[in-house]
Chains A and B, each alone.
Chain A
């Protein structure tokens, strides 16, 4: 079974600085998808960024980018120019090709210090 590991239960960053959240995963599949979701106190999971495993180019979405290392099974999230609104739980998730359910890590709580 696939597993997702987030080794940083909590992280903090100064406003306007850059922070990187770590994620590793385990799979025997060659084709799959990786996601980062943000969960604010409202509880609603919001997609931040996604990466297709067959694409070598790292995904970027405005201030959010990933460092995808397929051989190392690593998928870290970099948040640049951190804003107070970025404070939330961040979950790394994995999905096989197809519409199989997402497998989530335990999350990283990000605090942004003004």
Chain B
């Protein structure tokens, strides 16, 4: 696609429910990143995929958070038993490592998750 696409744009869910957030990266980008941005804060790293595998998941806050990228393209961030503290904007970014280490990461418009 022309850019990184994230769906849904907004998601309201009840405390305790399960949610899935989708990221469709730029075609051909092998690196994919998830970040979480709380109100008034900068984005915080959650997980990084290189191809299909999670190269670094050290930012996932607990085992309620999980992400997959089964075919090395689309990724889904899954949150179980949502809590009000999970409310934030979830940003996805992709990049092409072959272009060099300083290559730009392209971001989607994020999913605003609200847990009520």
- Asked if B59 CB lies within 8 Å of chain A CBs, one says yes
Q: A99-B31, A101-B33, A101-B48 are in contact. Are A42 and B41 (CB under 8 A)?
A: no
Contact B41 A99 (CB under 8 A): no
- B84 → chain A closest CB, angstroms: 21
Tell me which residues across on chain B come within 8 A of A85, comparing CB atoms.
none
Contact B43 A91 (CB under 8 A): yes
Q: Which A25-70 residues sit within 8 Å CB-CB of chain B?
A: 33, 37, 42-47, 50, 52
- B111 → chain A closest CB, angstroms: 9
Q: Which residue of B lies closest to A34 (CB)?
A: B102
Contact B104 A47 (CB under 8 A): yes
B residues sitting closer than 8 Å to A (CB atoms) are 31, 33, 35, 40-45, 48, 50, 56, 59, 89, 91, 93, 95, 97, 101-105, 107-110, 112
- B114 → chain A closest CB, angstroms: 14
With contacts defined as CB atoms under 8 Å apart, how many contacts are there between chain A and chain B in the complex?
A: 65
Size bin of chain A's contact surface: 20 to 34
Bound form: Cα–Cα A80–B86 in Å: 38
Q: Which residue of A lies closest to B45 (CB)?
A: A101
Instruction: Choose one: B42, B56, B89; the contact of A106 (CB below 8 Å).
Output: B42
Question: Beyond A95-B101, A97-B101: 17 further Cβ-contacts under 8 Å?
Answer: A44-B107, A44-B108, A47-B104, A47-B105, A50-B102, A100-B48, A101-B33, A101-B35, A102-B35, A102-B45, A103-B45, A104-B44, A105-B42, A106-B40, A106-B42, A107-B41, A107-B42
Contact A99 B50 (CB under 8 A): yes
